[in-house]
C-alpha cells in the first residue's frame, strides 16, 4: 500500500459521509448517553493512542458526528477493527482533518473495558490490541481480508502477516500449499529451487506458464504467486537447495516456517540455523521430480578424495546426531509418499550408513560395522539416507559446502548437546554410543568406499540415477522433537502426517464464545414469559434458545477435564525460564483456578479483577523474566479461552519405524478402516528404497511390481507380527498409479496442508493429530494417532 495514497482517497468520500451523517444524527438523542459512558471510562487498557493515527486516517472518517462515534471495540469476538493492523500502511503525514485525534476517541474507547467490568463476568475481554478509536469504515486491507477476518480475527491475521515462509522446490503441491498461504496474506515467502521447468511441471503446476519451459522454476513460480497478493513479499533463489544452504550460513534466520526439500547437508545446516534462531519450524517437503534425501550422498563416495570423504562422513554422522537430538521444532511437508524403508545404497552393495542403521535398529555402531563392509547382501536399512538431488550435487562440488560443516574436532561441542537432550529422551545411551563409535566408523567407511569394486557399482548406479527416479524420502524421522509434516498425493491417495513436539493452542474454538446469557442468573430471564407488544406472553422462541444453551448453565461447575490435565502437566507445574508464555499463564491459572468459583471458570472469565494477570506477573518475576514477555492482550485472550486450552504433543515418526510390532490387526479387520493405506505407504517406501522407482512407474512393469509390492507388504506385516493379509486389489490399485500425481488430489491436500500450517502460525484451532489419510476414490478420510 503506497503511503498516503489510499489514505487521501478515503478522506474525501469520508468527509462527505461525515457531512450527511451530521445531518442525520442531529435528531439523535444520543449525546447525553454518550457522556455517561465517557464518564465511566476507567482502566481502558493501554489507551487508544498507538493506533489512533491509522484508525483515523484510514477510514474512520466515516464516522458521522462525533456524538455517535463510539469506538466500540469491545471484543465480543475478539475481532476488533482491522485498522489496528494496517496502521503501518497509513503514513503519518496524512493530512486529513480527522487524523488529529481529539482525545474523545480514546475516552469513549475506554468505555469498552468499563462496560465489561459492569458485566457480571467482570473482566471480560476488551480487544487484542489496545483499544483504538474505532473507525466504522474499514481500510482496503480490512475489506480484502474481511471474509477470513471473521474466522481468525485481526490478531490471527497479524500473526499470519508476520510469518515468513520458505518453500524449497516449487512443485505442484508446493505451490498449491503456498497459494493458500499467499492469498490470505502471510508476510513473505522465499522459494529456493534450482530446477528448470519441464513439460511435466507445466502439466501439473498451475503457477508455471506454458512458455516457461527451461526457465527457472523458482523464478516463474515466485512471479506467479506474487501476483496473487501485493501485500505479500516474495523472492526466490535460483540455486539448488543444498547449494544455498551450504553457502549461506544464516539462511533460515528470518523464516518462521520453512517448506523444504533438502539433502542431508541442508537439514544439518537448517538445524544449526534453527538452533541459533527462533525459527518456528521447518517444513521439509519433497517433490516427485527432485529426489529428497536426508542421507548419504553417493557422489561423495564416488572417486573419493580422502579428505573430502572424511569430512563427508563426519558430516553425515553429525547430522544424524543432531537430528536425533535437536531441540527445535520442524514442520516438514513431503510431497509424494515418504519412503523410509530400505536404502538405495543397499542396491549398490554399499554398506548402509551405520548411523542410520543404528538409529533404526538401536544397535551399536560396532555392530553395524560388523554387518558391514563386505557384506554383499542387501542390508535392508529402513532408516537412513536416500539419494540426493544428483544434478545439483554435481554443481555444488565446491569444497565449501563440506568445510562449513563442523569437523571432527567439534565433537566435544556436540556431545554435551546430545547428552543434554538424551536425558529427556532416552537417547543417552544411543547417542553416546554413536559418538564413541564415530572414529572407527569413519575409518571403516573410508576403507570401504575406496574399494574398487564399490567404486564400480557406484559408477553404474550414478548412471541409473539419471533416469530421475521418483524417489521421496522424509529423512527427518530422526527428528523426534520437530514439528514435521508429511504430505503426499499418489493417484487417488493422499497422506498427511504431522510430527511435532509440542503445540499449544489457546483459541481452539475462537468463535465458540459462550453467548452472554447472563449465566450467573440465567433463570429469571429465560423462565419468565416475555410479554410481546400486545402484552401477550410468548415464551416458545426463547425456549429454543434456552434449551440449546442449557448445558452451559447446568453443567456441573468444575474445571473441564482436558483443561485440568493441562494444569496438571509438568510444564505447568515446573516453570523454567524457558517456559513459553502459554505455560506461564497456565501456571497462573492453576494457582487461581483452584480458589475461584469454578463456574466462573466455565465462563472463561477467570481473570476476575486481574488475578491471572497478577499471577502471570508473579510468575514472570519469580522466573526473572522481563515484564513485557507476556502482554496484557495475551493474558486477556488466554482468560477468555481458558476453558478450551489445547496442547498437542505428537509422536515421533521414527518411533513408528522402530517399533517391532505394530498392532494394526484391529484396524485391518475393519473393512471400513483406512489403516490399510498406512501399510501400503510403508510398503511403497520400502519398495522405492529397494527398487528406486515407484511401483508401476513404467507401463510394462505394472504386473511384476504388483507381485513385488505384495511380497514387500507381506514381509512388513510379518515383521509387525500382524497376521492380517492385505487385499490384493489395494496393492494393485496403488501400482496402477505408478506414482502419478493428480492435480485435483494435490489441490485437496494442498488446501488441507495450508490450513494446518495456518493453524500452527495463528495458534488457533486444533491441528490434526497426527496421521491423516484421504481416499479420493470414495472421498473418505481417516485420522489415526500413530
Partner 1 sequence: MVEAQESSQKRWGHLRKVLERPGPFSHPEFEPSSEILDFIMTSCNILVIGAGGLGCELLKDLALMGFKQIHVIDMDTIDLSNLNRQFLFRHKDLGSSKSEVAAAFINKRIVGCQVTPHFCKIQDYDESFYRQFHIIVCGLDSIVARRWINGMLVSLLTYDDGVLDQQTVIPMVDGGTEGFKGNARVILPGMSACVECTLDLYPPQVNYPLCTIANTPRLPEHCIEYVKLILWPKENPFNTTLDGDDSQHISWIYERAVERALQFNIPGVTYRLVQGVVKHIIPAVASTNAVIAGVCATEVFKIATSCCVPLNNYMVFNDVDGIYTYTYEAEKKENCLICSQVPQVIEISDPYKMKLKQLLELLSESTAYQMKSPGLTTIIDGKNKTLYMSTIKSIEERTRDNLTKTLIDLGLKDGQDILVADVTSPSTLVIKLKYLINDVEMN
Tell me which residues in 690-709 interact with partner 1 (CB under 8 A).
696, 699, 702
Pick the stretch among 24-32, 333-341, 343-351, 580-588 that binds partner 1 (CB under 8 A). Answer: 24-32
Smallest separation (angstroms) from partner 1 to the CB of 115: 5
- Of 313, 601, 720, 737, the one binding partner 1 by CB under 8 A: 737
Q: Which one, of 228, 264, 222, 231, lies nearest residue 245 by Cα?
A: 264
CA triple 665-776-671, angle to 5 deg:
25
Smallest separation (angstroms) from partner 1 to the CB of 633: 17
Give whole-number Cα distances, 319 to 341, 361, 382, 393, in Å. Answer: 19, 18, 17, 18
Residues 133-172 contacting partner 1, CB under 8 A: 134-138, 140, 143-151
Smallest separation (angstroms) from partner 1 to the CB of 312: 35
Smallest separation (angstroms) from partner 1 to the CB of 570: 25
Residue in the structure block whose three cell numbers are 496484557:
632
Smallest separation (angstroms) from partner 1 to the CB of 563: 16
Smallest separation (angstroms) from partner 1 to the CB of 165: 14
Smallest separation (angstroms) from partner 1 to the CB of 771: 10
Q: Give alpha helix (H) positions in 477-609.
A: 522-527, 540-554, 561-567, 570-573, 581-593, 598-602
Three-state SS for 171?
coil
Residues 301-320 contacting partner 1, CB under 8 A: none
| Residue pair 283/174 in contact by the 8 Å Cβ criterion | no
Residues 37-76 contacting partner 1, CB under 8 A: 37, 62-64, 68, 70, 72-76
Query: Which residues, 6+ apart, have CB-to-CB distance to 587 below 8 Å?
Result: 572, 573, 575, 579, 615, 619
Give whole-number Cα distances, 610 to 19, 310, 318, 439, in Å. Answer: 42, 61, 49, 59
Pick the stretch among 318-326, 564-572, 628-636, 767-775 that binds partner 1 (CB under 8 A). Answer: 767-775
Rounded CA-CA distance 87/730 in Å is 55
Q: Is 687 among the residues that bind partner 1 (CB under 8 A)? A: no
Pick the stretch among 301-309, 398-406, 585-593, 727-735 that binds partner 1 (CB under 8 A). Answer: 727-735
Residues 80-99 contacting partner 1, CB under 8 A: 80-81
Smallest separation (angstroms) from partner 1 to the CB of 118: 7
Q: Which helix (H) or strand (E) holds 165?
A: strand 164-168
The secondary structure of 365-396 as a DSSP string is HHHHHHHHTT--SPP--SSS-----HHHHHHT
Does the bond joining 176 to the residue before it have cis omega, within 30 degrees of 0? no
Site size with partner 1, rule: CB under 8 A: 120
| Residue pair 385/475 in contact by the 8 Å Cβ criterion | yes
Rounded CA-CA distance 304/307 in Å is 8
In the complex with partner 1, which residue's Cβ is closer, 551 or 577? 551
In the complex with partner 1, which residue's Cβ is closer, 33 or 303? 33
Smallest separation (angstroms) from partner 1 to the CB of 82: 8
User: What are the φ/ψ torsions at residue 237 (nearest 5 degrees)?
Assistant: -130, 115
Residues 747-766 contacting partner 1, CB under 8 A: 747-752, 754-756, 758, 765-766
| Residue pair 375/317 in contact by the 8 Å Cβ criterion | no
Smallest separation (angstroms) from partner 1 to the CB of 203: 4
Pick the stretch among 262-270, 425-433, 710-718, 738-746 that binds partner 1 (CB under 8 A). Answer: 738-746
Residues 224-253 contacting partner 1, CB under 8 A: 227-230
Residues 608-667 contacting partner 1, CB under 8 A: none
Residues 179-218 contacting partner 1, CB under 8 A: 179-180, 183-185, 199-200, 202-204, 206, 209-210
| 556-565 LR contacts (CB < 8 Å, sep 24+) | 557/597, 557/598, 557/599, 557/601, 557/602, 558/598, 558/601, 559/593, 559/598, 559/601, 560/602, 560/643, 560/644, 562/645, 562/646, 563/642, 563/643, 563/644, 563/645
In the complex with partner 1, which residue's Cβ is closer, 326 or 600? 600
Rounded CA-CA distance 639/627 in Å is 18
- Of 131, 331, 767, 786, the one binding partner 1 by CB under 8 A: 767
In the complex with partner 1, which residue's Cβ is closer, 6 or 372? 6
Residues 505-534 contacting partner 1, CB under 8 A: 508-509, 515-518, 525, 530-533
Rounded CA-CA distance 641/722 in Å is 44
Residues 532-571 contacting partner 1, CB under 8 A: 532-533, 538, 541-542
Chain Cα centroid distance, residue 478: 18
Rounded CA-CA distance 585/615 in Å is 8
In the complex with partner 1, which residue's Cβ is closer, 92 or 118? 118
In the complex with partner 1, which residue's Cβ is closer, 36 or 92? 36
In the complex with partner 1, which residue's Cβ is closer, 241 or 696? 696
The secondary structure of 288-314 as a DSSP string is SSSPP-SS--HHHHSS--HHHHHHHHH
Smallest separation (angstroms) from partner 1 to the CB of 244: 28
Smallest separation (angstroms) from partner 1 to the CB of 538: 5
Smallest separation (angstroms) from partner 1 to the CB of 371: 38
Amino acid at each position: 500500500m503506497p503511503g498516503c495514497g489510499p489514505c487521501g482517497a478515503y478522506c474525501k468520500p469520508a468527509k462527505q459521509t461525515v457531512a450527511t451523517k451530521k445531518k442525520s444524527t442531529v435528531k439523535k438523542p444520543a449525546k447525553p448517553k454518550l457522556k455517561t459512558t465517557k464518564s465511566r471510562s476507567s482502566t481502558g487498557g493501554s489507551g487508544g493512542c498507538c493506533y489512533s493515527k491509522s484508525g483515523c486516517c484510514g477510514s474512520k472518517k466515516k464516522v458521522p458526528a462525533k456524538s455517535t462515534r463510539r469506538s466500540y471495540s469491545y471484543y465480543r469476538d475478539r475481532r476488533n477493527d482491522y485498522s489496528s493492523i494496517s496502521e503501518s500502511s497509513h503514513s503519518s503525514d496524512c493530512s486529513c482533518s480527522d487524523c488529529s485525534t481529539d482525545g474523545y476517541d480514546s475516552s469513549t474507547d475506554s468505555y469498552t473495558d468499563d462496560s465489561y467490568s459492569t458485566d457480571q463476568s467482570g473482566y471480560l475481554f476488551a480487544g487484542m490490541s489496545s483499544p483504538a478509536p474505532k473507525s466504522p469504515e474499514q481500510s482496503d486491507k480490512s475489506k480484502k481480508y474481511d471474509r477470513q477476518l471473521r474466522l481468525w480475527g485481526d490478531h490471527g491475521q497479524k500473526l499470519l502477516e508476520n510469518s515468513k515462509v520458505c518453500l524449497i522446490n516449487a512443485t505442484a503441491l508446493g505451490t498449491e500449499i503456498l497459494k493458500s498461504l499467499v492469498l490470505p496474506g502471510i508476510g513473505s515467502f522465499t522459494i529456493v529451487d534450482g530446477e528448470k521447468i519441464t513439460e511435466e511441471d507445466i502439466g501439473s503446476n498451475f503457477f508455471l506458464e506454458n512458455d516457461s519451459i527451461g526457465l527457472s522454476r523458482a523464478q516463474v513460480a515466485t512471479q506467479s504467486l506474487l501476483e496473487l497478493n501485493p501485500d505479500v513479499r516474495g523472492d526466490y533463489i535460483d540455486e539448488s537447495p543444498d547449494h544455498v544452504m551450504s553457502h549461506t550460513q544464516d539462511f533460515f534466520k528470518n523464516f518462521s516456517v520453512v517448506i523444504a526439500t533438502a539433502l542431508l547437508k541442508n537439514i544439518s545446516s537448517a538445524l544449526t540455523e534453527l538452533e541459533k534462531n527462533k525459527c518456528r519450524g521447518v517444513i521439509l517437503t519433497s517433490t516427485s521430480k527432485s529426489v529428497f534425501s536426508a542421507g548419504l550422498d553417493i557422489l561423495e563416495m564416488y572417486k573419493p578424495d580422502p579428505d573430502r570423504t572424511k569430512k563427508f562422513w563426519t558430516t553425515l554422522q553429525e547430522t544424524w546426531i543432531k537430528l536425533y537430538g535437536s531441540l527445535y521444532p520442524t514442520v516438514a511437508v513431503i510431497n509424494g509418499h515418504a519412503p523410509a524403508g530400505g536404502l538405495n545404497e543397499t542396491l549398490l552393495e554399499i554398506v548402509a550408513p551405520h548411523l542410520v542403521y543404528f538409529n533404526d535398529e538401536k544397535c551399536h555402531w560396532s555392530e553395524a560395522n560388523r554387518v558391514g563392509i563386505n557384506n554383499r547382501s542387501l542390508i535392508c536399512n529402513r532408516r537412513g539416507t536416500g539419494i540426493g538431488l544428483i544434478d545439483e550435487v554435481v554443481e555444488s562440488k565446491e569444497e565449501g559446502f563440506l568445510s562449513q560443516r563442523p569437523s571432527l574436532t567439534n565433537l566435544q561441542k556436540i556431545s554435551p548437546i546430545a547428552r543434554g537432550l538424551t536425558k529427556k529422551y532416552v537417547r543417552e545411551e544411543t547417542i553416546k554410543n554413536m559418538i564413541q563409535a564415530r572414529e572407527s566408523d569413519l575409518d571403516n567407511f573410508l576403507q570401504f568406499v575406496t574399494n574398487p569394486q564399490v567404486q564400480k557399482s557406484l559408477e553404474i548406479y550414478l548412471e541409473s540415477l539419471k533416469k530421475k527416479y521418483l524417489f521421496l524420502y522424509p529423512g527427518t524421522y530422526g527428528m523426534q522433537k520437530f514439528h514435521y509434516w508429511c504430505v503426499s498425493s499418489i493417484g487417488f491417495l493422499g497422506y498427511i502426517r504431522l510430527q511435532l513436539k509440542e503445540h499449544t493452542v489457546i483459541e481452539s474454538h475462537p468463535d465458540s464464545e459462550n453467548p452472554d446469557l447472563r449465566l450467573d442468573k440465567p433463570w429469571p430471564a429465560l423462565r419468565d414469559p416475555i410479554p410481546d407488544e400486545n402484552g401477550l406472553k410468548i415464551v416458545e422462541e426463547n425456549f429454543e434458545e434456552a434449551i440449546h444453551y442449557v448445558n452451559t448453565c447446568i453443567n456441573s461447575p468444575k474445571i473441564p477435564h482436558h483443561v485440568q490435565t493441562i494444569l496438571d502437566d509438568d510444564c505447568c507445574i515446573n516453570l523454567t525460564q524457558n517456559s513459553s508464555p502459554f505455560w506461564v499463564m497456565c501456571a497462573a491459572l492453576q494457582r487461581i483456578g483452584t480458589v475461584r468459583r469454578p463456574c466462573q471458570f466455565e465462563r472463561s472469565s477467570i481473570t476476575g479483577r486481574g488475578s491471572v494477570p497478577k499471577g502471570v506477573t508473579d510468575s514472570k518475576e519469580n522466573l526473572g523474566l522481563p515484564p513485557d514477555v507476556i502482554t496484557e492482550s495475551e493474558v486477556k485472550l488466554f482468560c477468555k479461552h481458558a476453558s478450551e486450552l489445547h496442547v498437542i504433543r505428537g509422536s515421533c515418526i521414527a518411533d513408528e519405524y522402530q517399533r517391532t510390532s505394530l498392532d494394526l490387526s484391529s484396524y485391518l479387520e475393519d473393512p471400513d478402516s483406512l489403516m490399510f493405506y498406512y501399510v501400503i505407504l510403508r510398503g511403497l517406501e520400502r519398495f522405492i528404497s529397494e527398487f528406486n522407482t515407484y511401483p508401476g512407474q513404467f507401463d510394462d512393469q505394472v504386473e511384476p511390481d504388483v507381485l513385488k509390492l505384495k511380497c514387500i507388504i507381506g514381509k512388513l506385516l510379518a515383521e509387525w507380527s500382524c497376521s492380517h493379509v492385505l487385499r490384493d486389489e489395494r496393492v494393485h490399485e496403488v501400482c496402477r498409479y505408478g506414482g502419478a500425481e493428480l492435480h485435483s488430489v494435490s489441490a485437496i491436500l494442498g488446501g488441507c496442508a495450508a490450513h494446518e500450517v495456518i493453524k500452527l502460525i495463528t495458534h488457533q484451532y486444533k491441528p490434526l493429530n497426527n496421521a491423516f489419510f484421504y481416499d479420493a476414490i470414495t472421498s473418505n478420510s481417516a485420522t489415526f494417532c500413530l
